[in-house]
Chain A
Amino acid sequence: MFDLKDLYQEVIVDHNRSPRNFGALEDADRVIEGYNPLCGDKLNLYVKFDDERISDVKFDGSGCAISVASASLMTEALKGKTKADAERIFNDFHELLTARDMPIAAEVEKLDKLAALAGVRDYPTRIKCATLCWHTLHSALEGKDEPVTTE
């Protein structure tokens, strides 16, 4: 049975209402746009690097609760992490959302607050909402300039 509360957990509602690290980052090293043509979600991701480390990251744009909360949680999780850490977290996060046979508990430990998005795994059409910011980050880390879409 699908329980809506598993999807819209308090953490998600909170981060949607008051997203953290929201706004432009004036001295960003990379600015990259992510776009989900399915629902019109659009976000700009601003990343500042200190050598291999992400020293600051912010985002702005508009989207559904899942995509805004995911971006907000992502920025919190990334500050101070190395590029390699960031890619590893992305992989773990992606696994959380797509490996439906994996017990959530095992992932929670690795992912901390990001695990609040685990409920998305029961809503396959919404997975792209949760991963848009991460795909955008991935492009920023790879040094790409073109906008990212989920399609």
Chain B
Amino acid sequence: MNQPVDSTAAELLGGNRPALDVERVRADFPILHQEVRGKPLAYFDNAATSQKPAKVIETVDHYYRALNSNIHRGVHYLSEQATSAYENAREAQRRFINAESTREIVFVRGATEAINLIVQSWGRSQLKAGDEVIISEMEHHSNIVPWQMLRDQIGIELKVIPINDAGELQLDIYEELLNERTKLVAINHLSNALGTVNPVKSIIDQAHEAGALVLVDGAQAVPHTPVDVQALGCDFYVYSGHKLFGPTGIGVLYGREDLLEAMPPYQGGGDMIKMVKLDRTIYNDLPYKFEAGTPHIAGGIGLGAAVEYVEDIGLEAIAAYEHDLLEYATEQALTVEGLKLIGTAQNKASILSFIMDGVHPHDLGTIVDSEGIAIRTGHHCAMPVMDHFGVPATARASFAFYNTHAEIDRLIAALKHAHEVLA
């Protein structure tokens, strides 16, 4: 697999741009074809959760209608069918991020649970007081709070890479933070609050030189850019299904096999064991050692369908289309009086975060909502980013490949109207 690593969307375009037929794509998403508040829905809250193509909805529906059964233990027909569908979905995830083996693909509830698993299993077993973990100022709360909890439990030191006023990591400070006590760097691939695409490949290389592992939070990245965990060389990579056009309540933890092998289970229960005596247990092999209890079978199978759907369209085509969309939206947003972008990194994807003079983001959200347009307002689970820019909240339009230029025009008109009404 020849995946681009740390390349910008513009570079991904190369000479021959793959085409994406937005009208054909939109036909695949039933929810988009409705009116809200008496206007056609324009959905720009994709960073919070993405919409689902019919293929995913039908796959989940089919599972409950025709396959529903518990997996990994039944000898009957349905159980075999369900198990095979679930394991095929795991193979789809392996292929999607180019992991070496399905033993490295652990199904979890989402990126949040994946990070908590790493913190409590790897962190608690491998770290001791005084060891250092590096995170960044632009992390989602899910990549901050679990580390603070571990700090309070065992006394690790938490170091933070600051961001600059464009919303980019200050990599010179990152270099200074790395030292022989650094055991892990936990960093997002694409910031949900700013849209910044981080140079994870070079971050990983530097961490490895310093002898530290790297966890990449890919929750925002996987719907927008090709990911190859082997090319990146990351040790852990996590993502959520529902931001990737799949169901909620399912996600993936990728971990290098030797690391997962050495880690103790996160939860105990059924399915994660080979043998249980009243005084001892032999744990199951990877990845089942980390999958206690009946999993979200329909969710896993649905996520398999989501990944196949995205692969059919092609992430290169998606990245190229969304790059155009973001450039157009940025250019148009700057024509709105009083609007200020939050997050102006050189390398951005899919997210336009902004504030407006004299108009609180919450009012912006309500005013554009009355036009049938869904955007997010608030701190986006990234309060430290809000603190950095000295704002309580921003408004955020986040794009997917089913959004159109015409929808962006409607958003811009609604924002101009908001300025007239309230500023």
Interface stretch among B228-236, B331-339, B358-366? Answer: B358-366
**CB <8 Å contact, A126 and B366:** yes
Among candidates B358, B361, B362, B422, residue contacting A126 with C-beta atoms closer than 8 Å = B362
Complex contact A65–B422 (CB within 8 A) = yes
Could you say which residues of chain A place their CB within 8 Å of the CB of B37? Answer: 1-2
Decide: B392 and A40 in contact? CB cutoff 8 A. Answer: yes
List residues of chain B with CB within 8 A of the CB of A13.
421-422
**Number of contacts between A and B (CB, 8 Å)?**
52
- Chain B interface size range: 10 to 19
Complex contact B360–A38 (CB within 8 A): no
State which of A2, A8, A42, A129 has its C-beta within 8 Å of the C-beta of B422: A8
Does residue B177 face the partner (Cβ distance < 8 Å to A)? no
A 1-39 contacts with B by CB, 8 A: 1-2, 4, 7-8, 13, 16-17, 38-39
Q: Which residues of chain B come closer than 8 Å to A17, judged between CB atoms?
A: 358
For residue A40, give the distance in angstroms from its CB to the closest CB of chain B. Answer: 3
- Which residues of B sit under 8 angstroms from A4, Cβ to Cβ? 366-367, 370, 421
Q: Is B38 part of the binding interface, using a Cβ–Cβ cutoff of 8 Å? A: yes
Choose among B358, B377, B392, B421 the residue with the greatest number of A CB atoms under 10 Å from its CB: B392
Say whether A40 contacts B393, CB under 8 Å.
yes
CB proximity of A69 to chain B, nearest CB, Å: 10
Who on chain B is nearest to A123 by CB? B366
Contacts of B367 in A (CB 8 A): 4, 8
Q: State whether A40 touches B421 (Cβ < 8 A).
A: no
A7, A16, A42: the one contacting B366 at CB < 8 Å is: A7
B370, A39: Cβ atoms closer than 8 Å: no
Say how far A31's CB is from chain B's closest CB, in angstroms. Answer: 20
Which of B363, B370, B379, B422 sits near A40, CB closer than 8 Å? B379
Tell whether B5 is near chain A: CB-to-CB under 8 Å: no
A100 CA to B378 CA, complexed, in Å = 27
Residue of B nearest to A62 (CB): B392
Residues of the B chain whose Cβ atoms lie less than 8 Å from the Cβ of A1: 37-38
Q: Do A41 and B392 contact each other (CB < 8 Å), given the known contacts A7-B366, A64-B360, A66-B363?
A: yes
Q: Is B386 an interface residue (CB 8 A)?
A: yes
Kindly state the separation between the CA atoms of A129 and B366 in the bound complex, as whole angstroms: 12
- Once the chains are docked, how many angstroms separate the CA of A98 from the CA of B393? 26
A63: Cβ under 8 A from any B Cβ: yes
- Cα separation A42 to B360 with both chains bound (whole Å): 12
Contacts of A38 in B (CB 8 A): 378
Q: Which has the most chain A C-beta neighbours within 10 Å: B363, B370, B392, B421?
A: B363
Q: Which residue of B lies closest to A68 (CB)?
A: B360
Within the complex, what minimum Cβ distance (angstroms) separates B59 from chain A?
32
Q: Which of A40, A62, A66, A123 contacts B378 (CB 8 A)?
A: A40
Contact with B along A47-84 (1 / 0, CB 8 A): 00000000000000011111000000000000000000
CA distance A13 to B38 in the complex (A): 25
> Closest CB of chain B to A37's CB: distance in Å?
8
Could you mark each residue 15-45 of chain B with 1 if its beta carbon is under 8 Å from any beta carbon of chain A, else 0?
Answer: 0000000000000000000000110000000
* A residues in contact with B386, CB < 8 Å: 40
- Chain A contacts for B359, CB-based, 8 A: 65
Enumerate chain B residues within 8 angstroms of A42, measured Cβ to Cβ. Answer: 392
Alpha-carbon gap, A42 to B37, bound state (A)? 30
B370-391 vs A, Cβ < 8 Å mask (1 yes, 0 no): 1000000111000000100000
Judge whether A8 and B421 touch: CB under 8 Å: yes
Q: Shortest beta-carbon distance, B367 to chain A, in Å? A: 6
Contacts of B401-423 to chain A: CB distance below 8 A: 421-422
Query: Contact between A2 and B370 (Cβ–Cβ < 8 Å)?
Result: yes
Which residue in A2, A62, A64 is a CB contact (below 8 Å) of B363? Answer: A64
In the assembled complex, how far is the CB of residue A33 from the closest CB belonging to chain B, in whole angstroms?
14
CA distance A8 to B422 in the complex (A): 8
CB distance from A12 to the nearest CB of B (A): 9
Complex CA gap A126/B386 in Å reads 21
CB neighbours of B366 from chain A (8 A): 4, 7, 123, 126
Contact A63 B422 (CB under 8 A): no
B392 near A39: Cβ-Cβ < 8 Å:
yes
Residue of B38, B366, B367, B370 contacting most chain A CB atoms (<10 Å): B366
Which of chain A's residues has its CB closest to B37's CB? A2
Interface residues of B in 119-146 (CB under 8 A from A): none
- Distance from A35 Cβ to chain B, minimum over Cβ atoms (Å): 10
In the complex, which of the residues A7, A65, A123 contacts B360, with contact meaning CB atoms closer than 8 Å?
A: A65
Partner of A39, one of B358, B362, B421: B362
Q: Tell me, in angstroms, the Cα distance from A20 to B337 when the chains sit together.
A: 26
- Give the Cβ gap from B89 to chain A, nearest Cβ, in Å: 35
Interface CB pairs A-B, < 8 A, 12: A8-B363, A13-B422, A38-B378, A39-B378, A39-B393, A40-B386, A40-B393, A41-B362, A65-B359, A65-B363, A65-B422, A129-B362
Given A62-B360, A123-B366, 17 other A-B residues pairs in contact with their CB atoms under 8 A? A2-B370, A4-B421, A7-B366, A8-B421, A8-B422, A38-B378, A39-B361, A39-B377, A40-B393, A41-B392, A63-B360, A63-B392, A64-B360, A64-B361, A65-B360, A65-B363, A65-B422
